Amino acid sequence: MKKISRRRFLYCSAAFLSATLPTCPALAFGTKNRQHSGADDIRGRVFKGDAPKVLWKWSKEGFLYKKIKNGKVICGICPNRCVLAEGDRSVCRSRVNINGTLYSLAYGNPCAIHLDPVEKKPLYHFRPRTTAFSIATSGCNFRCLNCQNYEISQAKPYEVRSYELFPAGVVKEARRAGAASIAYTYSEPITFFEYMIDTARLAREAGIYNLMISNGYINHKPLLELSSVLDGANINLKSYSDTIYRKLNGGRLQPVLNTFETLHGQGVHFEMTTLVVPGYVDDPDMIKRMCDWILNAVGPDYPLHFIRFFPRYKLDRLPPTPVSTLEQFRDLALAAGVHYVYVGNVPGHDGNNTYCHNCGKLLINRRGYIIPDYNLNGSHCKYCNTAIPGVWEDATNNSV
């Protein structure tokens, strides 16, 4: 047998792994992310002794927390329920215990500000052809291995470039931009809850809609408070498996399901988004179970979006989702009885359009974020007069 050099052996080994990793999620995990066997359950994994020594002007006392012995506090915003000793920072990176008081460091300091079509959120049944003034701060209470915005979601407030824009300023800029709504989005708005709810209250007074684009990982009490000023939401239903939630996202399934039920009970319009990650969220039986839960818990009228995955962050060696898988899942959901099911991240696909669930006629034709055909009379199908669930008219009763 011919001997080869150590350098040649290493080169051939690397070439072999590169050829096999794209089709093998387990191998991709084991090489690129040796420190991670998965996102796992991140509750309790706080940053010890990582809080700043003094408060800065973008600080706000926590909306909901409890002081316990020895100067510790328990955050009550999300199911992580971080227990912070003095000087600790929360899992979401945005909350700290300073001298026995919980503070948010994500208040009035957005790191992202954009004017977006509302369809980008994605929200397909909420005021089509209007714009949303979109803001985000850093931080997230999940650790999704496929995060699309990890540069800000997995960063602390001082690690990103931010702008000074307090709640009144957000409302002022939204009005100046002619936006119909303000969207709390991009990272995880639950982690900047205080900033979001204070802004939402002012926006409601100004006649501007409030939209939350979120993973839905929030406790019941703060969600009830937010629901009083929330007009719409897109909530990620990342899978219908607690095991996958723990491995892929670092959270749990049940709190997210609770969020859907609460929003439904409070009469808040919401849409559901499932990113179909190959090797994790591409089991048809799981999708069937998910649809059964949706129908039994909240009914058939909330739109469901199946989104195509593209390699990103810690899963950058996985292949994109086959379009055929998205089409299969859309067919499964429609057959189960969900009335409005969409395919996302596939430009030009018929699954981007809205069809009347009663007569099947085309109601909204979408070409990217452009809507060339719109066939609703107010909130009803132009052809059969069936009421179409969603928010189709503004507060002054002017149709789009």
Whether 190 is in a domain gets the answer yes
Mean residue pLDDT across the chain: 90
Percent of the chain with pLDDT strictly greater than 70 = 88
Q: How confident is the model at residue 169 (pLDDT cuts 50, 70, 90)?
A: very high
Task: Give me the helix-helix angle, 193-205 and 220-227, nearest 10°.
Answer: 20
Question: Taking a C-beta distance cutoff of 8 angstroms, is the pair 400, 164 a contact?
Answer: no
Give the model confidence (pLDDT) of 35-77 as tens digits.
Answer: 334 577 776 689 999 999 888 889 999 999 999 999 999 999 9
Give the model confidence (pLDDT) of 253-290 as tens digits.
Answer: 999 999 999 999 999 999 999 999 999 999 999 999 99
Please choose, from the candidates 131, 209, 186, 175, the residue with its C-alpha nearest in 3D space to the C-alpha of residue 371: 131
Tokens of 396: 């002054």
Whether 398 is in a domain gets the answer no
Tallying the residues shown for the chain, one arrives at 400
Query: What Cα–Cα distance (Å) separates residue 48 from each residue in 45, 64, 83, 192, 249?
Result: 9, 21, 10, 20, 22
Which residues are CB-contacts of 106 (< 8 A; sequence separation ≥ 6)? Answer: 58, 94, 137, 138, 139, 157, 191, 192, 195
Question: Taking a C-beta distance cutoff of 8 angstroms, is the pair 165, 173 a contact?
Answer: yes
What local confidence, expressed as pLDDT, does residue 291 receive? 98
Which residues are CB-contacts of 317 (< 8 A; sequence separation ≥ 6)? Answer: 21, 22, 28, 32, 311
What local confidence, expressed as pLDDT, does residue 27 receive? 24
Whether 291 is in a domain gets the answer yes
Q: Span 95-111, mean pLDDT?
A: 97
Tokens of 271: 């849409």
Query: What Cα–Cα distance (Å) separates residue 189 from each residue in 139, 186, 397?
Result: 8, 8, 29
Q: Span 120-145, mean pLDDT?
A: 97
Q: Provide the domain count of the chain.
A: 1
Question: Taking a C-beta distance cutoff of 8 angstroms, is the pair 10, 58 a contact?
Answer: no
What local confidence, expressed as pLDDT, does residue 54 receive? 83
pLDDT of residue 326 exceeding 70: yes
Whether 260 is in a domain gets the answer yes
Which residue is it, tokens 């507060």?
395
Q: How confident is the model at residue 123 (pLDDT cuts 50, 70, 90)?
A: very high
Give the model confidence (pLDDT) of 150-166 as tens digits.
Answer: 999 999 999 999 999 99
What local confidence, expressed as pLDDT, does residue 118 receive? 98
What local confidence, expressed as pLDDT, does residue 393 receive? 76
**14 against 138, higher pLDDT:** 138
Whether 15 is in a domain gets the answer no
Percent of the chain with pLDDT strictly greater than 90 = 86
Q: What is the CATH number of the domain that holds 335?
A: 3.20.20.70
Give exposure, 206-230, as e/b (b: 16+ Cβ within 10 Å): eebbbbbbbbbbbbeebbeebbebb
Please choose, from the candidates 245, 230, 243, 305, the residue with its C-alpha nearest in 3D space to the C-alpha of residue 272: 305
Q: How confident is the model at residue 24 (pLDDT cuts 50, 70, 90)?
A: very low
**Domain region containing 243:** 112-381
Three-state secondary structure call for residue 7: helix
What local confidence, expressed as pLDDT, does residue 44 receive? 65
pLDDT of residue 22 exceeding 60: no
